[in-house]
Amino acid sequence: MDQLTEQREYYRHRAGEYDEWWQRRGRYALDDQARQHWFADIDEAARALEAFDPAGDVLEFAAGTGWWTERLTRHATRITAVDAHTETLDLNRARTARTGRVTYVQADIFTWTPPAQQFDVVFFSFWLSHIPDEHLDRFWQQVATALRPGGRVFLLDSYQPARIDGDLQQRTLNDGRTYQVIKRYWQPAELEALPGWQLTARVTTHGAVIHAHGAPER
């Protein structure tokens, strides 16, 4: 199978395991200090999102199991949560449907066309690092197309202090199956230099998360 298909298959099968990674349980468990640092950085990124105030109509790419969708519901009037997999959207729905603010869309983000100028905010978490270089321009065009005039973007992702050779990583499911996924670690200067965008990027205190916010250049 091609690389994008393999990546999609991995995340489809991982849907029920994803929260183990997020909560650092089971084989993702960390020692006490590393665990404290991880959750401190997640809290720091969450505070940055709170300060950004993702209000109005929000489009969330790669919404996953809903950890960040739930936070968005505290600010947004409406959220359109897009993900490639019904498995992850079902978990997201279980977490956020009670709010009555979320519309769930199952679609391949690499081919999906968002409605034009319908959103005040576009948000995506732990997604940009999984986009291959040849799809980046189209993705950022999708973001720009979706935004209303004056619209904004907020993103967060995994961080490493230096680019790792190659953009593929091997990932293993709990049942032992292995897949290769795209994983590109972005640096703040790279995000701030993206053509057509005015972004401000920061790394959390313990270096686990990078987050950025901004808007298209006008």
Using DSSP bridges, classify how beta strands 197-203 and 209-216 pair: parallel, antiparallel or unpaired.
antiparallel
Q: Is the pLDDT of residue 120 over 70?
A: yes
Average pLDDT, the chain: 94
Sign of the CA dihedral running 206, 212, 213, 218:
positive
Q: Is the pLDDT of residue 35 over 80?
A: yes
Q: How many CA atoms lie within 13 A of 52 on its CB side?
A: 30
pTM comes to 0.94
- The percentage of the chain sitting over the pLDDT mark of 70, rounded to a whole number, equals 98
Mean pLDDT, rounded, for 154-162: 93
Using DSSP bridges, classify how beta strands 147-158 and 209-216 pair: parallel, antiparallel or unpaired.
antiparallel
Q: pLDDT tens-digit profile of 45-95?
A: 999 999 999 999 999 999 999 999 999 999 999 999 999 999 999 999 999
Helices (H), the chain: 3-14, 18-22, 32-52, 67-72, 86-96, 133-146, 188-192
Q: Is the pLDDT of residue 196 over 70?
A: yes
Domain ranges of the chain: 3-216
pLDDT at residue 21 in the model: 83
Q: Is the pLDDT of residue 166 over 80?
A: no
Helices and strands (H, E) in the chain, number of each type: 7, 9
111 near 91, Cβ under 8 Å?
no
Residue type at position 146: A
Mean pLDDT, rounded, for 129-133: 94
**Domain 3-216: homologous superfamily in CATH:** Vaccinia Virus protein VP39 (3.40.50.150)
